Amino acid sequence: MKAYVFPGQGAQFVGMGKDLYENYPVAKELFEKANEILGFRITDIMFAGTDEELKQTRVTQPAVFLHSVISAVCLGEAFQPEMVAGHSLGEMSALAAVGCVAFEDALRLVYARAMAMQKACEACPGTMAAIIGLEDAQVEEICAAVTEETGKVVVGANYNCPGQLVISGEREGVEIACERLKAAGAKRALVLPVGGAFHSPLMQPAKEELEAAIAATEFHTPKCPVYQNVDGAMHAEPAEIKANLIQQLTASVKWTTEVNAMIAAGATEFIECGPGKALQGMISKISRGNAAVSVTGVKFGE
């Protein structure tokens, strides 16, 4: 069974989508529609901007969404997913790709999400850090202890694959946790160059702002099952999908659970649809030893 997966923020690169724009009329049409909806030419930044311009949350999130969804559209009849999932922002790409949310509505939600998260970051600055080489339970225990002792929020945010957990919270809390995690044997505890504490309680203002926008948007039954970050489980009911999407901003991304659930449901081929190869690396580590599972990225012109 084919499972298509969609990446999140961090997968962006300058030049992304330019080949699609130049070679597929449908891609050009959708990119130009996006420029109109957003009120600025995001394509100029995607195709020929600077890394710094592309790193702005208000640009990054719609850019990754556009590259991912338009890649799926350009696959045409070859895009036949039997299940889909997306990492963080990528969940919205997955929902748009399988008809749960119309392209235009999904783009508006992604932009609203980006702006709400940016405001939350400015109101309550925070950061994230990648922890490599420890068991999840040990990371969780140390984060909880730091929060209790210092009053600075730090929690597990992205459960990416065995031995890789991204923590999130107030900068001081994350920095203290990193020192303790290194002392506990972490191979790496690296503070990430991100604009805020995503997937943590610090995103509560963004969650509240986005909830109204999601509630006002029409969701449809997706054409195949969707696996969601908040519980790693399969969902097909629009009301459930909406509720999980709202919770996602402050909840952790249970990516390892999600991928294992898809494998248990019969997924044998994971295809990353969008910029970068980060999800391919994670899934290869999650499915290690399972010879029945293959992991690739989308391929055009073959």
The C-alpha atoms of residue 138 and residue 18 are separated, in whole angstroms, by: 43
Candidate list 68, 71, 87, 88, residue with the active-site label:
88
Q: How far apart are CA 113 and CA 191, in angstroms?
A: 23
Annotation says 199 is catalytic = yes
Coil, helix or strand at residue 295: strand
Residue count (the chain):
302
Residues facing residue 19 across a β-bridge: none
Q: Measuring CA to CA, how many Å separate 107 from each of 70, 87, 119, 244?
A: 12, 16, 18, 18
> Catalytic: which of 199, 200, 235, 252?
199
Q: Is 235 a catalytic residue?
A: no
Locate tokens 């970068």: which residue?
Answer: 276
- Alpha-helical regions (H) of the chain: 18-23, 25-38, 42-48, 51-55, 57-74, 90-97, 103-123, 136-150, 171-183, 204-215, 238-247, 255-264, 278-286
Query: Which of the residues are catalytic?
Result: 88, 199
